[in-house]
Chains A and B, each alone.
Chain A
């Protein structure tokens, strides 16, 4: 982040390739090798085409951080059939759909709390479907989850709830933990001194939700999953939380999957919208394109928004 260049770096260090050309192409090894010989934008595009050749089509999902491929899942009856969508690094994908269509189930699949009957679930390119239980615990540490019902541990204080992931997975000192907990609670507009010693049962529904968000963010995960983070909250808090999710994306390049009922905030924060209906993703694309769709169901779902 600092503006000063490290001393051992030569002055003639070429400028970083600008990220906004084709972001998907500038990740991983490719980004590293191309940094050596930064071309002009036009040249770069030319060369990329040449390198790929005709058989290799551009692969927009190459950088997908979170991805579902042809996922099928049935409990007593089929819930999801052939569900596919993906989120690239730094994107916010909002999953919308009617109640009971399986939105929360999708998040649980991404966390491997559930295993699909068929299909693949990829986190950072790793298929998590066949992982062992312990390996799954490892992968989950990359992710932060905000549960629909907050799911705070009711035997622990608010402070201990938010500190939980830090105590489990980091070697932070007691002071550092407290500082982090305060920071996160302030982030969600709660007064740390007031709420930290309280038990979850003493909080209002909205406050519990916000503590849930603070806990989900506590270990600065690069992937955040939110299950209806704003339902049951007043418009002001809803706006704050929407803003917060956008801030995480902009400032920390966090990849988010948000389940939401609130079309307004979904359109504000979503880089992509995935509409789940009849056990499938019936629309997956940008909010702008979604508004242009002629499909009867989509129009009704948007309700004129």
Chain B
């Protein structure tokens, strides 16, 4: 008797608990779906506004400076050292086949197709994404976003669109600069450490680019890979940063949370989306 009663209560408790958990899960899932939807609306709107008046040209130029020019140093540094370490590591492997002269090809292939875009993306996410989230977040908690709305300005048009546009232009540019820095870094190692003449190094670099094939006759497919990615990454970083920034809640503490979320989320997205873009490009080109 007693045992069955206890078992009964136990079952009932378990049932309520599981339904509770289920409803909690539903709520959370609903919220996730809603915020995902909000994110896509924000992204779509911000891109749509690129083509609609008024154009906040000054803001775009300012953002190109903030996102592009001011990221130059870290992009040059990361590119250069990555190129050097690539040359160093691959030369060890290549030496076992007696093929150290191909170090330029390996550095180029890795930099242009993969490391250049991904590293630039991660660097921009860390430097620019966090900055945007912090700035828009503090504008949100100090009522400046409300003030913009009140003064009849759409915050997406004024704040998000210039940043998106600037990133779409500048992240590919930064990537090219990073690629070049990396290949130059490889050359430094090749000539000092491996004793390869520069002319040979640069010839293998070009061989690698040409070996990837061409599309539309003159455009190396490697370049397409190398530029589609940072274009997409730039868009992701800035829209994610603006989304988290504009949705900041709970004072200064909230600003910190938005900033962290932006960096973590956009970095992970870069790595995941990199995989899918690669797969699509390999299939298409």
Tally of chain A residues near chain B (CB < 8 A) = 23
Hey, what's the 0/1 contact readout for B120-148 against A, CB within 8 Å counting as 1?
00000000000000000001001110111
State whether the Cβ of A231 lies closer than 8 Å to any Cβ in chain B: no
B150 with A111: CB separation less than 8 A: yes
Residues in B whose Cβ lies below 8 Å from that of A113: 146, 149-150
Q: CA separation between A164 and B153, bound complex, in Å?
A: 10
Residues in A whose Cβ lies below 8 Å from that of B151: 140, 164-165, 168, 215
Interface residues of A in 105-135 (CB under 8 A from B): 108, 111, 113, 133-134
Q: CA separation between A215 and B152, bound complex, in Å?
A: 13
Residues in B whose Cβ lies below 8 Å from that of A133: 154
Q: Which of B142, B143, B147, B153 has the most CB of A within 10 A?
A: B147
Residues in B whose Cβ lies below 8 Å from that of A108: 146
A148 with B153: CB separation less than 8 A: no
Q: CA separation between A138 and B154, bound complex, in Å?
A: 11
Interface residue ranges, A against B (CB under 8 Å): 108, 111, 113, 133-134, 137-138, 140-141, 143, 145, 147-149, 151-154, 164-165, 168-169, 215
A151 with B152: CB separation less than 8 A: no
B144 with A153: CB separation less than 8 A: yes
Q: CA separation between A141 and B195, bound complex, in Å?
A: 70
Q: Which residue of A134, A140, A143, A149 contacts B142 across the interface (Cβ within 8 Å)?
A: A149
Nearest Cβ on chain B to A26's Cβ, whole angstroms? 31
Interchain Cβ contacts under 8 Å between A and B, 17 examples: A111-B150, A113-B146, A134-B154, A137-B149, A137-B152, A137-B154, A147-B147, A149-B142, A149-B143, A151-B142, A151-B144, A151-B146, A151-B147, A152-B147, A153-B147, A165-B152, A168-B152
A145 with B150: CB separation less than 8 A: yes
Interface residues of B in 32-62 (CB under 8 A from A): none
Residues in B whose Cβ lies below 8 Å from that of A138: 152
Residues in B whose Cβ lies below 8 Å from that of A152: 144, 147
Residues in A whose Cβ lies below 8 Å from that of B147: 145, 147, 151-153
Nearest Cβ on chain A to B211's Cβ, whole angstroms? 49
Chain B, residue nearest A147 (CB):
B143
Nearest Cβ on chain B to A197's Cβ, whole angstroms? 18
B144 with A154: CB separation less than 8 A: yes
Residues in B whose Cβ lies below 8 Å from that of A215: 151
Q: CA separation between A210 and B144, bound complex, in Å?
A: 16
Residues in B whose Cβ lies below 8 Å from that of A168: 151-153
Q: CA separation between A165 and B158, bound complex, in Å?
A: 13
Nearest Cβ on chain B to A209's Cβ, whole angstroms? 13
Residues in B whose Cβ lies below 8 Å from that of A137: 149, 152-154
Chain A, residue nearest B138 (CB):
A154
Chain A, residue nearest B153 (CB):
A168
B149 with A140: CB separation less than 8 A: yes
B152 with A111: CB separation less than 8 A: no
Chain A, residue nearest B59 (CB):
A155
Residues in A whose Cβ lies below 8 Å from that of B143: 147-149, 151
Residues in B whose Cβ lies below 8 Å from that of A165: 151-152
Nearest Cβ on chain A to B273's Cβ, whole angstroms? 29
B150 with A140: CB separation less than 8 A: yes
Q: CA separation between A147 and B147, bound complex, in Å?
A: 8
Residues in B whose Cβ lies below 8 Å from that of A111: 146, 149-150
Chain B, residue nearest A136 (CB):
B149
Interface residues of B in 148-202 (CB under 8 A from A): 148-154
Q: CA separation between A140 and B147, bound complex, in Å?
A: 11
Extra A-B contacts (18), CB below 8 Å, given A134-B154, A153-B144, A153-B147:
A113-B149, A137-B152, A137-B153, A140-B150, A140-B152, A141-B152, A145-B147, A147-B143, A149-B143, A151-B142, A151-B143, A153-B139, A153-B148, A154-B144, A164-B151, A165-B151, A165-B152, A215-B151
Q: Which of B142, B144, B151 has the most CB of A within 10 A?
A: B151
